[in-house]
Amino acid sequence: MTENIAKKSCTPCRGGIPPLTRDEAAGFLSQTPGWDLLDDGHLIRRKFKFGDFKQALAFVDEVGRLAEEEGHHPDVCFGWGHAEVSLWTHKINGLHENDFIMAAKINELQKAS
């Protein structure tokens, strides 16, 4: 996997395909530093730290904007100085390449903030 996954765009997942295996998902982790493979390989999650509530809120707003652009929506939890983002593809109840595309793009947002 030498292609920069952050340069890709999410493609609609209509279901009917199997989720990535744990090994396939683990292969994408090298392009999504900071993300953890959880729930026996069914989701990825990353925790982000910020200096205050306003910075965390601004980051969450940017994640929301990105999610709308890509048509792929994470679960987000945040509060004073922190945010946690979880990704998986609901239609297949597991991970898809789109989840790693979003994770890589979210990592770029965090670098810019």
| CATH number of the domain residue 69 falls in | 3.30.1360.20
Give pLDDT tens digits for 44-56. 999 999 999 999 9
**What is the distance of C-alpha 91 from the center of its chain?**
16
Is the residue at 7 inside a domain?
A: no
Query: Which residue is associated with the tokens 């904007």?
Result: 65
Is the residue at 70 inside a domain?
A: yes
Q: What is the mean pLDDT of residues 79-101?
A: 96
Is the residue at 9 inside a domain?
A: no
52 vs 50: CA distance, rounded Å: 6
Range of the domain at 59: 20-112
> Does residue 14 register a pLDDT over 90?
no
Is the residue at 91 inside a domain?
A: yes
Q: Quote the mean pLDDT of the chain.
A: 92
Is the residue at 48 inside a domain?
A: yes
Is the residue at 77 inside a domain?
A: yes
Q: How many domains does the chain have?
A: 1
Give pLDDT tens digits for 26-80. 999 989 999 999 998 999 999 999 999 999 999 999 999 999 999 999 999 999 9
Answer for the pair 4, 31: CB distance below 8 angstroms, yes or no: yes
